[in-house]
Structure 1
Amino acid sequence: MARTALILVEGHSRGNGLRYVQAAKRFGLHPITLSADPAQYNYLSVESSEAIRVDTSNLDALIRECSRLRATYHIAGITGFAGVDESVYATVGKLCRHFDLPGPNPTSIEQCCDKFIQRQLLGEAGVPIPAYRVAANATDVESSAAEIGLPVILKPATGSGSVGVRLCRNVDELAEHTAYLLDGKHIWPSSPRILVEQFAEGPYFLAQIMGNEIIGIEAAHFGSAPHFVCRDCTFPAPITDGEHKHIVDVSLSCLRALGLGWGPTNIEFRWTERGPVVIEVNPRLAGTPDPQLVQLAYGIDLITEHIKLVVGDECDLRRRHSRTAAARLLVPDRDGTLDWIGGDRRAAAIPGIAEVQFYVEPKTPIVRKGDYRDWIGHVIAASPNLARTEVILQRAVDLIDLSITPSVPACRAER
């Protein structure tokens, strides 16, 4: 009898990829990763998980490889990871359509991954969004910023993880970041298109969604401008019932406007004078530490429930309990070479700490980029209430030490 396989297109090096592989095995599925470079995902060798090298930007090549695998395996489902190149998830949708398997609508995913088209569709549906323009060159950027009014956000029209995203508070910062995006330092998958957006000021929230159900609302805080590097996350967010309802209503409007509603989605908001304003709709599961926070707080394993959908089962999104979970992302305060990092065992031993993970090893070069790649680790805590969780988390983070040279002999991660 043929083994039942779950096909994973590409991987996810920080948390989610490993969790999908492990969840698949718990289901009795054989996970097979298709990747242009399987070696970049260390967990595959650790888990002795099968991986096949294939050009994942080539739909025909993926179809051929999946067809070949069907001679040996029963393919129960296909899913994948967007990473910085979100087009991968649209390709997953096309593969699912080709093999008549459950999956996301590829047209909806493609529309959503193009931030300009996403903005157009949301605006047409009356969803609150920042004022925006699209620009292809420096002259367009300058005129768009003048129309909207400084400060503005400059971001690539495609991509994720805050890569290439910057707050421009004056004409000098605007010119500097425009040059960065257009003069070869930012890698574009196609012709450059820059989104110029009004800066929506206010607290940041993230709606975690599966299908058409809003699982909950998360709060997060970022480091200092002009970049958007997340430092703290709390789930569920400490908001009023009225604020929660408002965010839920706008979230459902986003799903309708963009034709989403299958599988995971996460929607980013800023709470402004207008109420919740949509910053981005991401038609995929959020990365680490978000799935861990949801599971710790509500007992809902989003990865497991997603796999159920992928293989054609019904998911169960009922809350098993109600707690507060929070994460601190560790971010270095300078560039250099990491001499050492430690304290993780002592931090993990504190009651209420669920996870301590470092992403880097000693002697790793530290070159901050102003996006998610600046994270060098995380600490996650959970308890019955927010105040207790924050105390536990801070106690653990205070035990984490690192040293970076040549700037100074020793420094601590910004917390």
Structure 2
Amino acid sequence: MLLLEAAGPESGALVETTVARGYEVHAVTGSDQLASYSTTLRTALSGCLPTDLSRPEHAIEDILRYARRVGADAVLTTNEYLTPLAAQVCAALELPGNDPALARAARSKAAMAEQFARCGVTTPHTRVLSHELELCRLVASGHLTFPCVLKPAEGAGSVGVRIVTSAEEAAAAFRAAQKGRGMYGMVLDPRVVIQELIEGVEYSVESITQSGRTTHLCVTRKMATRGARRVELGHGLPAVLPAELERAVYKQVDLAIAAVGIRNGASHTEVMLTPDTQCAVIEIGARIGAGYIGFLIRHALGIDPWAACLDTALGRPAHLSPTRADYATVRFLTAPHPGRLVAVAGLPDHGPQVPLVRLRRALGETVTGTVDNTGRLGSFVVVGPDRQRVDLDADHLLAQVQIHIEPFDPSSPAVDHCGSP
């Protein structure tokens, strides 16, 4: 199996599952990323190709040459930024994958909005702007209604996403959204997407599509902050919706999956349900849900999403029927304010009810406040048969965690989280 980027918990789980199934795993990563791989990950890999992922045309030549040399039977990625590249590689190797002509629409929110409109997906009213002057004209003409949502056309992890309530806030958010940087030094679409703000309850739908036929694994409830920045604080699944509403949600998700050309693989679709039970699709990713959603699926439903992704990539039937009927939730640890992480105490003990506890930031690192999903300090998962009890236990455990952040000294030079000036 050729894995486009092996770093991260989702990729790590996919590597572990694939190796356990008796397959070699070869990784592709950015030229400067290999040094960040742990010893455990390096040991699990049978080979690795560092390449310049900021130059897709060059990278695809390297990847195809390497894939043919090692005899890749499957190509996968869990990385948001690499899903279009994965579709191109699969097509060139004649392996199961997504439509390469539409794959960018699962990354670019500008292209996504265009495809959603073309295919009849119910979604917030969306505009795509290239210059701040266009924003000023919309405001002056009265055609921009506040509050609304501004987001980078090709961002990820809620970076640069902001709800604005005035022309002044919109102008500042527009400029901030254009400063986004992609992984691996990728050049991102500098345009800004402005969407109608839809208030309601946010969910996501986790799905596997095989040869164009989709199985929805579950609905996930999202827990997020309020205010200008809606940062995810946790997830819980499976969420239970009334049967008729669930069918309506799945209908919209099916349309979205088809609109962005997902034919073989996982998808993660974010939707908003309004108080009058209308469903609007916010966006979709051609990958398994991040934020430990794959782990929640495995613990709550007994479905191995990593094995399902591998089987789909190999062109084999995947086992997608639940073998458990539990509930699982994750809580994310966040910093109360920016500064230097001094201590974390009171983390729950690992055990049957808490099968996963992870810190992703080391003591001494510089951390941000709760501004986007990249600011998470760590997380833990709680599982059990009773949904209400599990959520209560998770909230109780979260309240026991003590995070000590040392504020910045304004007189000292700024240092990034890697310790480099």
Shorter-chain TM-score above 0.5: yes
* Alpha-carbon spacing, 1:64–1:366, altered in 2? closer, same or farther (3 Å): closer
Deviation at 1:74, TM superposition (A): 3.0
Q: 2:135 aligned with 1:141, yes or no?
A: yes
CA contact (8 A) 2:60 2:85 kept: no
Deviation at 1:27, TM superposition (A): 1.3
Which of 275, 278, 290 pairs up with 1:275? Answer: 278
Q: Which residue of 2 aligns with 1:253?
A: 255
CA distance in 1, matches of 2:319, 2:16: 19
CA distance in 1, matches of 2:268, 2:135: 28
Deviation at 1:256, TM superposition (A): 2.9
Q: Which residue of 2 aligns with 1:116?
A: 110
CA distance in 2, matches of 1:186, 1:39: 20
Deviation at 1:186, TM superposition (A): 5.6
Deviation at 1:292, TM superposition (A): 0.8
Deviation at 1:112, TM superposition (A): 2.7
How does 1:141-290 map onto structure 2 within 5 Å? 141-144=135-138, 146-182=142-178, 184=179, 189-190=187-188, 192-211=190-209, 212-272=214-274, 273=276, 275-290=278-293
Q: Which residue of 2 aligns with 1:9?
A: 4
CA distance in 1, matches of 2:133, 2:258: 35
* Alpha-carbon spacing, 1:291–1:190, altered in 2? closer, same or farther (3 Å): closer
Q: Which residue of 2 aligns with 1:76?
A: 73
Q: Which residue of 1 aligns with 2:17?
A: 23
TM-score (norm 2): 0.87
| Range that drifts further, 212-221 or 144-153 | 144-153
CA distance in 2, matches of 1:136, 1:281: 22
Large movers: runs of 4+ above 4 Å: 44-47, 184-188
1:83-130 CA deviation, whole Å, 9 max, x = no partner?
3xx3x2111111111122222221221123221222122223332111
Q: 2:120 aligned with 1:126, yes or no?
A: yes
CA distance in 1, matches of 2:311, 2:354: 28
CA contact (8 A) 2:154 2:188 kept: no
Amino acid at match of 1:356: V
Deviation at 1:274, TM superposition (A): 6.0
| Range that drifts further, 57-66 or 151-160 | 57-66
| Range that drifts further, 382-391 or 104-113 | 104-113
1:294-321 CA deviation, whole Å, 9 max, x = no partner?
1111111111110111122211101101
TM-score (norm 1): 0.89
CA distance in 2, matches of 1:247, 1:31: 36
* Alpha-carbon spacing, 1:144–1:238, altered in 2? closer, same or farther (3 Å): farther
Amino acid at match of 1:299: G
CA distance in 2, matches of 1:312, 1:398: 45
User: Tell me, what secondary structure is at the counterpart of 1:104?
Assistant: coil
Consecutive unaligned residues of structure 2, counting only runs of 5 or more, are 410-421
Deviation at 1:185, TM superposition (A): 6.2
CA distance in 2, matches of 1:25, 1:43: 16
CA contact (8 A) 1:63 1:95 kept: no
CA contact (8 A) 1:18 1:43 kept: no
CA contact (8 A) 2:83 2:107 kept: no
| Range that drifts further, 120-129 or 223-232 | 120-129
How many corresponding residue pairs?
395
CA contact (8 A) 1:340 1:362 kept: yes
Deviation at 1:66, TM superposition (A): 4.1
Please report the RMSD computed on the Cα atoms of aligned residues, expressed in angstroms: 2.2
How does 1:290-329 map onto structure 2 within 5 Å? 290-329=293-332
CA distance in 2, matches of 1:316, 1:372: 31
How does 1:76-115 map onto structure 2 within 5 Å? 76-83=73-80, 86=81, 88-115=82-109
* Alpha-carbon spacing, 1:248–1:69, altered in 2? closer, same or farther (3 Å): closer
* Alpha-carbon spacing, 1:46–1:35, altered in 2? closer, same or farther (3 Å): closer
Deviation at 1:233, TM superposition (A): 0.8
How does 1:369-408 map onto structure 2 within 5 Å? 370-406=371-407
Deviation at 1:45, TM superposition (A): 4.7
Deviation at 1:158, TM superposition (A): 1.4
Amino acid at match of 2:56: N
CA contact (8 A) 1:12 1:81 kept: no
1:234-254 CA deviation, whole Å, 9 max, x = no partner?
101142222222211111122
CA distance in 2, matches of 1:59, 1:259: 21
Deviation at 1:69, TM superposition (A): 5.5
Deviation at 1:380, TM superposition (A): 0.7
Q: Percent identity?
A: 18
* Alpha-carbon spacing, 1:46–1:401, altered in 2? closer, same or farther (3 Å): farther
